[in-house]
Amino acid sequence: MVREYLLVLFVTAAVTYLLVSPVRKFAIAAGAMPAVRARDVHREPTPRLGGIAMFGGLCAGLLVASQLTNIGRLFIQSADVRALLSGAGIMFVLGVLDDKWGVDALVKLGGQMIAAGVMVWQGVTVISLPVPGVGTVAVTPTQGMIISVTLVVVMVNAVNFIDGLDGLAAGMVCIAAMAFFLYSYRLWIGYGVNDAAPAALFSAVLIGMCLGFLPHNLHPARIFMGDSGSMMLGLMLAVAAISITGRVDFDYITSRTGSQTATVHALVPIYIPLLLPLTVIALPLADLLLAVVRRTWAGKSPFAADKQHLHHRLLQVGHSHSRAVLIMYFWAALIAFGTVAFSVANTGRTVVLAFAGLCLVGLVVLLMPRFRPHAPRAVQAVVPPRYRKARAEAPATGPEAAAEALGGAADEAAAPDGAPAMAELSAKDKALLSRIGSGATAVGQRSRAKG
């Protein structure tokens, strides 16, 4: 069973990764690379529409999953996959329009609600809520629709709000999807809750989409996912949450565990409605709430963009771009996997102690001097050049090194006290210097054109 999920994950990641380069060229040709705004962190116009590659990876992953023996049954037994494709398609089209031409905030909100409504109409909705000491409490169709639509809109905007640094949104959603996959897979295999199977599939596909896009989006990013990607990621997180929360039979789990006490411990993350999906993206949700309160308090629209998000504040206090992203990764992973571990461990004390220890380790690591992340040597041959560690011991050779050396001589000769040095250069040396300088300039222009 795990092998099927891994296959779906790898296929999704591979297709997404391979599609990013042609999508980037298409975005540049289509002019989907707006000028740098005052609230932006990047310094050069960067193409958007990365969500196109993600959507291609999503379709490829689900296509492969439909042909597998065990996972393929979900496409027959459940309508969640069709509902996901419908909602993701609407959100994708809305995001592409916004990336290219810009869409009003209220129009985007309306489109998000339409996408959520289409999925609810196809059956992706909360049916019941497990309440401690009471059991399963059924909700009316209207209540289920309100809860489901609200969750989709909140998730979509939370992910969209944190998409402010290179690699931040994709990495944090990937961490959240990993934690959610572990939890839903445990409910399905460990307790026989079949309604958790779609959530496990959606989480695996979501992990693949993020992993395939991240190599192109890490700092310095070659392409942005744009709203076409961020809104789709938020919608998929919401669908994974809805497809499992509200469908878990409290009484059935109690019959498996033997007591309500054991059931309470097993299902801690979903006792409060939708607690687990909220905790796995606690930082984005906190950022969303702070942004709404801050803008409303200032008399602005809650959708008015600013430069006061959590990741912006990390940059303002002196952290580098890569360090700020790693800080957000660390705390997101600590909260998400800590929640999952609390539902698995036999005692909460162990989890609390481990949580405190990891917090201490994280603080120590984050206070270390600045560093430049790079890929391990074993995989440097297959990653983009900007993630490879520079080899300082290799001496520079070739025309560029000669041009650099002669350029230094020229700078020295141009100094106020360097007139005699320039005079000592023969006519032949001056001609050679001129030719090498012209060649180095041409090489630099060709390198920039290829890049």
Q: Are residues 125 and 272 in the same domain?
A: yes
Sign of CA dihedral 288, 290, 296, 300: negative
Which of 282, 305, 325 corresponds to the end of one domain? 282
Q: How far is the C-alpha of 156 from the C-alpha of 281, rounded, in Å?
A: 11
Q: How far is the C-alpha of 228 from the C-alpha of 230, rounded, in Å?
A: 6
pLDDT at 413: 41
Helices 197-217, 168-191: crossing angle, 10 deg rounding: 160
Q: For residue 378, is it within any domain?
A: no
Question: What is the tally of structural domains in the chain?
Answer: 2
Given a contact cutoff of 8 angstroms between Cβ atoms, the answer to whether 24 and 216 are in contact is yes
Enter the tokens of residue 369. 């001097």
3-state secondary structure of 179: helix
Q: For residue 340, is it within any domain?
A: no
In this predicted model, what pLDDT tens digit does every residue of 91-138 receive, in sequence order?
999 999 999 888 888 899 999 999 999 999 998 888 877 665 566 677
Q: Which residues of the chain have pLDDT under 70?
A: 34-43, 130-136, 191, 245-285, 288, 301-319, 342-349, 351-352, 355, 362-376, 382-451
Q: How far is the C-alpha of 39 from the C-alpha of 312, rounded, in Å?
A: 9
Q: For residue 152, is it within any domain?
A: yes
Which of 231, 252, 282 corresponds to the end of one domain? 282
Q: For residue 334, is it within any domain?
A: no
Q: What is the dihedral angle through the alpha carbons of 130, 122, 94, 52, rounded to the nearest 10 degrees?
A: 90
Tell me how many degrees the CA angle 64-67-71 measures, rounded to the nearest 5.
90
Range of the domain at 169: 2-282
Beta bridge partners of 138: 128
pLDDT at 227: 92
Q: Which residues of 416-435 are buried (b: 16+ CB within 10 A; e: fewer)?
A: eeeeeeeeeeeeeeeeebee
Q: How far is the C-alpha of 250 from the C-alpha of 259, rounded, in Å?
A: 11
In this predicted model, what pLDDT tens digit does every residue of 175-215 receive, in sequence order?
888 988 888 888 777 767 777 888 899 999 999 999 999 99
Q: For residue 203, is it within any domain?
A: yes
Q: Are residues 405 and 277 in the same domain?
A: no
Strands (DSSP E) contained in 79-211 are: 128-131, 135-138
Given a contact cutoff of 8 angstroms between Cβ atoms, the answer to whether 401 and 436 are in contact is no
Q: For residue 365, is it within any domain?
A: no
Q: For residue 362, is it within any domain?
A: no
Which of 249, 282, 315 corresponds to the end of one domain? 282
Q: For residue 57, is it within any domain?
A: yes
Backbone angles phi, psi at 137, to 5 degrees: -110, 120
pLDDT at 135: 60
Q: How far is the C-alpha of 45 from the C-alpha of 224, rounded, in Å?
A: 10
pLDDT at 396: 46
